[in-house]
Structure 1
Amino acid sequence: MIRRIKEYAKREPSRDAHKIYIVCEGKGTEPYYFSFFEGRSSNLQVVTIPPGDGTDPLKLMERARQVLIGDERKYTVDYRHNDTVWFVIDTDTWEKEGKIAPLRDFCKAQNEGIHKKYDEVKSYDAWNVAQSNPCFEIWLYYHFYENKPFGVEMEQCASFKEFVSHSISGGFNYERDQVRLETAIDNTEKNYSIDDEGKLMLYSSEMYVLGKEISGFVKGDLTKLRNKLG
């Protein structure tokens, strides 16, 4: 369990708070990471939705249908407040198995339907994919490092996760290292690249886009915390 240190006073979200729903593969790392931002701003509510009975992109898509769209949905995406949904996924073997493209198509279809369903709401990218290659840990890596890992070629998630845990002294601290968000955004965007087919290159991540959305609400608080923590 992640416990907030005393500097991180939790705030209750306002009724009109912007909501970010994060549907993720992991039941540990990703929820631990995003829990830091829950209550950081009264204008932002971060809701992490762990996987159900499967972790591949198609299973996550069905999970989102169940909790965000279906008649028995648990949450409501309020397009009038520009709420967003993010699928945080690894590249892993999903790319080779053709399971990422259908998820992106699903998000595109949801976005295109916003204005048709709500006349007063202008279409925007409410549904998004934040893919990391090889895995989410490359995003954690860029909280500390400016450049891609040098001299290593690890496309397997398990190997790269172990590499990152050793690269960050003491491992990633989920109670405080998120104050490096702006650094992570800059480093990740600088090292972002895609191939000729538009697929994510190794050690690239789309997490910087989601990072920017979160930062828009908590940047000031994180700067103060980072200065306090040193």
Structure 2
Amino acid sequence: MSRNKNREYKKGKPHRDFRKFIIVAEGEREDDYFHFFKKLSLRIDIRIVSREGGRSAAKYFLERLALYDNQHGIEKEDFVWFVLDVDRWPKAEIHNLYDACENSKNYHIGMSNPSFEVWLCYHFIKTIPADLNSAKKLKAHLPEIVKGGYNRDLFASQIQTATKHSEEADSNKENYFPESGVTKLYKLASQLLYFLGNNW
């Protein structure tokens, strides 16, 4: 299977051969999933931004990132990704986060509708059944896709498949807000795969 590569990086622009991905996510499952890729290549470094005091709401994402920046710093070559679901937070909070991304070149938002489990399902299936329209239903469906349900290493190893399936399912790629059963995380995955290359 060919690797999905972000076309942005085929233009011949000079760039650092190493990239840091700073992930500001809603939940621990997202943290754990993306941390898997840290060990795969010296070309990427995954930094997970903590949720001190349980601040997982979208309105706290920028505060969490600012605290990280004060402690560790963010370079212009770093990729900052906000990873969140649409099922729990007011649209106004999400839109404020999107506006921040529009005003910062290295900020990106990757949303799943209704939840991160949409992204997980695409690791093994091409389409999301319409009746799986809640996080609860999607979580219950995972053991039907893979015996034993979610296993981080097993799922993460299929990121190429998930990227292909979820990108094909997104009929409105220009809109940052995904439709039901759609995730925009293939954009983050494409960046990761570009820097991972073929040696993993």
The one-letter code sitting in structure 1 at the alignment partner of 2:109 is: V
1:220 is aligned to 198
Q: CA deviation at 1:219?
A: 3.9
Q: Which residues in structure 2 correspond to 1:148-227 (within 5 Å)?
A: 148-149=128-129, 151-154=130-133, 156-194=134-172, 199-222=177-200
- Stretches of structure 1 lacking an aligned partner (at least 5 in a row): 1-14, 112-125, 223-230
1:41 is aligned to 41
Taking the aligned partners of 1:18 and 1:101, their CA distance within structure 2 comes to 27
Q: CA deviation at 1:147?
A: 1.7
The one-letter code sitting in structure 2 at the alignment partner of 1:180 is: Q
Q: CA deviation at 1:16?
A: 6.8
Q: Which residues in structure 2 correspond to 1:85-100 (within 5 Å)?
A: 85-94=80-89, 96-100=90-94
Q: CA deviation at 1:174?
A: 1.1
Pair 1:22 & 2:17 matched: no
CA shift in 2, pair 1:194/1:56, >3 Å: farther
Bigger helix fraction = 2
1:77 is aligned to 74
Q: How many pairs were matched up? A: 184
Pair 1:141 & 2:121 matched: yes
TM norm structure 2: 0.83
| 2:128 alignment partner, SS class | coil
Q: CA deviation at 1:195?
A: 10
Q: CA deviation at 1:159?
A: 3.1
TM norm structure 1: 0.72
Identity, % of aligned positions: 27
Q: CA deviation at 1:144?
A: 0.3
**Looking at CA atoms only, which structure, 1 or 2, has the larger radius of gyration?**
1
CA shift in 2, pair 1:178/1:132, >3 Å: same
Q: Verify the 8 A CA contact 1:89 1:131 in the aligned structure 2.
A: yes
Work out which structure has the larger RCO, using CA pairs closer than 8 Å and 6 or more positions apart in sequence. 2
- Stretches of structure 2 lacking an aligned partner (at least 5 in a row): 1-15
1:101 is aligned to 95
Q: CA deviation at 1:187?
A: 0.0
CA shift in 2, pair 1:180/1:49, >3 Å: same
After superposition, the C-alpha distances for 1:71-115 in whole angstroms (9 at most, x for unaligned) are xx1222211xx2110000001132x4421100011122223xxxx
Taking the aligned partners of 2:91 and 2:101, their CA distance within structure 1 comes to 19
Taking the aligned partners of 1:75 and 1:56, their CA distance within structure 2 comes to 22
CA shift in 2, pair 1:42/1:52, >3 Å: same
CA shift in 2, pair 1:35/1:93, >3 Å: closer
CA shift in 2, pair 1:177/1:219, >3 Å: farther
Q: Verify the 8 A CA contact 1:24 1:87 in the aligned structure 2.
A: yes
Taking the aligned partners of 2:116 and 2:83, their CA distance within structure 1 comes to 8
